[in-house]
Chains A and B, each alone.
Chain A
Amino acid sequence: MREFAYQKAADVSGAVALLDADPEARFLAGGTNLVDLMKSGVERPTRLVDVRQLPLDRVESTPDGGLRIGATVTNSDLAVHPDVRRRYPMLAQALLAGASGQLRNMATVGGNLLQRTRCGYFTDLTKPCNKRTPGSGCPAIRGEHHNHAVLGASSHCVAVHPSDMAVALAALDAVVHFETADGPDALPIGWLYLPVDETPHRETALPPGALITHVSLPPAPVAARSRYRKVRERASYAFAIGSIAAALDVRDGVVHDVRLAYGAVASRPWRAQAAERVLAGASADAETFAAAADAELAAARPLAHNEYKVTLMRNLTVAVLSELAEEAGR
Chain B
Amino acid sequence: MTTTTVTAAPVRAVGRGHVRVEGRDKVTGAARYAGEVPFAGLAHGWLVLSSVARGRIEEIVTAPVLEMPGVLAVLHHGNAPHVETDFVGMMGTRPDPTCAVFQHDRVPHLGWPVALVVAETSEQAREAAESLVVHYDEQPHDVEFSAEDPDARHVDGHMPAVTDKGDLEAELAASAVVVDVEYTTPEEHHNPMEPHAAMARWDEGRLELIDSNQSATWVVGDIAQLFGLDPASVHVRSEHVGGGFGSKGVRAHQVAAVMAARVLQRPVRVVLTRRQMFTLAGHRSPTIQRVRLGAEADGRLRALDHRSLSRTSTVYDFVEPSAGVARVMYDADAHHTENRVVRLDVPSPTWMRGPGEAPGSFALEAALDELAEKCGLDPIELRLRNEPDKGPVSGLPFAARNLRACFEEGARRFGWDRRDPRPGVRRDGRWLLGSGTAGASFQAGALPSTATITAEADGTFTVRIAAADIGTGARTALTLVAADALDVPTDRIRVRIGDSAFGPAGIAGGSMGTRSWSWAVTAASSELRERLVPGMEIPAQGITVRSDTTEAVAALARKERHSYGAQFVEVAVDPATGEVRVRRMLGIFAAGRIVNPLTAKGQFTGGMIWGLSMALHEEAARDAYFGGPVGADLAGYHVATHADVPHIEADWVEDVDPEDPVGIKGIGEVGIVGVAAAVANAVWHATGVRHRSLPIRPDRILTAGNGA
Contacts and interface: CB of A to CB of B under 8 A. Distances in A.
A144 B698 CA distance: 16
A315 B641 contact: no
A234 B577 contact: no
Query: How would you classify the secondary structure of chain A's contact residues: helix, strand, loop or mixed?
Result: loop
Interface string A128-143: 0000000000010011
A212 B70 CA distance: 40
B478 to A, nearest CB: 36
Contacts of B408: none
A100 to B, nearest CB: 9
B698 A308 contact: yes
Residue among A118, A124, A235 with max Cβ neighbours from chain B (10 Å): A235
A312 B579 CA distance: 10
B698 A312 contact: yes
Nearest to B635: A118
Interface string B683-708: 00000000000000111001100000
Contact of B617 (A118, A124, A233, A239): A233
Chain B's interface size range is 35 or more
A6 interface: no
Contacts of B621: 120, 144
Contacts of A126: 51, 628
Interface string B193-215: 00000000000000000000000
Contacts of A236: 641-644
Given A139-B626, A143-B625, A308-B699, A234 B51 contact: no
A148 to B, nearest CB: 11
B127 A1 contact: yes
Contacts of A315: 576-577, 702
Contacts of B625: 139, 142-143
Contacts of A120: 621, 630-632, 636
Nearest to B624: A143
A127 interface: yes
B640 interface: yes
Contacts of A205: none
Nearest to A231: B577
Contacts of B626: 127, 139, 143
A241 B576 contact: no
Of the candidates A312, A318, A319, the one having the most CB atoms from chain B within 10 angstroms of its own CB is A312
B644 A2 contact: no
Contacts of A242: 577
A236 B643 CA distance: 6
B616 interface: yes
A46 interface: no
B702 A312 contact: yes
A164 to B, nearest CB: 15
Contacts of B577: 231, 242, 312, 315-316, 319
Interface string B137-160: 000000000000000000000000
Given A1-B69, A143-B623, A312-B702, A235 B644 contact: yes
A121 B123 contact: no
A15 to B, nearest CB: 28
Contacts of B69: 1
B581 interface: yes
A233 B631 contact: no
Nearest to A1: B123
Report whether over half of chain B's contact residues are helix, strand or loop; otherwise say mixed.
loop
B51 to A, nearest CB: 5
Contact of A241 (B623, B631, B699): B699
Interface in B641-657: 641-644
B124 interface: yes
A241 B578 CA distance: 11
A2 B123 contact: yes
Contacts, number: 96
A235 B130 contact: no
Interface string A109-125: 00000000010110111
A4 interface: no
Interface in A295-324: 305-309, 311-312, 315-316, 318-319
Contacts of B699: 146, 241, 305-306, 308-309, 312
A82 interface: no
B430 interface: yes
A31 to B, nearest CB: 16
A234 B698 contact: no
B630 A121 contact: yes
Contacts of B632: 120, 124
A233 B698 contact: yes
Contacts of A146: 699
A76 B640 CA distance: 23
B121 interface: yes
Report the interface size class on chain A: 35 or more
A318 B51 CA distance: 46
A143 B624 CA distance: 7
Contacts of A319: 430, 576-577
B51 A241 contact: no
A1 B631 contact: no
A237 interface: yes
Interface string A200-232: 000000000000000000000000000000010
Contact of A139 (B127, B623, B635, B703): B623
A238 interface: yes
Contacts of A312: 577-578, 698-699, 702
Interface in B592-639: 616-617, 621, 623-626, 628, 630-633, 635-636, 638
A41 B130 contact: yes
A163 B638 CA distance: 19
Given A118-B635, A144-B631, A237-B641, A316 B576 contact: yes
A233 B616 CA distance: 8
A234 B630 contact: no
Given A120-B631, A143-B623, A312-B578, A234 B130 contact: no
Contact of B702 (A2, A139, A305, A308): A308
Interface in B562-607: 576-579, 581
Nearest to B640: A234
Contact of B616 (A142, A231, A234): A234
Contacts of A123: 631, 633
A98 to B, nearest CB: 13
Contacts of A233: 616-617, 638, 697-698
A319 B578 CA distance: 13
Interface string B295-328: 0000000000000000000000000000000000
A312 B699 CA distance: 8
A121 B577 CA distance: 26
B608 to A, nearest CB: 16
Contacts of B51: 126
Contacts of B578: 231, 308, 312
Contacts of B640: 234
B638 A238 contact: yes
B123 A231 contact: no
Given A236-B643, A241-B699, A144 B123 contact: no
B703 to A, nearest CB: 5
Contacts of B697: 233
Given A120-B621, A241-B699, A234 B641 contact: yes
A231 B698 contact: yes
B694 to A, nearest CB: 13
B170 to A, nearest CB: 43
Contacts of A142: 625
Nearest to A318: B576
B275 to A, nearest CB: 8
Given A312-B578, A316-B576, 8 more contacts: A120-B630, A144-B621, A231-B577, A231-B579, A231-B698, A236-B644, A316-B577, A319-B576
7 contacts: A1-B69, A121-B630, A124-B630, A125-B130, A239-B635, A307-B703, A308-B702
Q: Which 10 A-B pairs give the minimum distances between C-beta atoms?
A: A120-B631, A236-B643, A235-B643, A308-B699, A315-B576, A120-B630, A1-B123, A144-B630, A144-B621, A143-B623
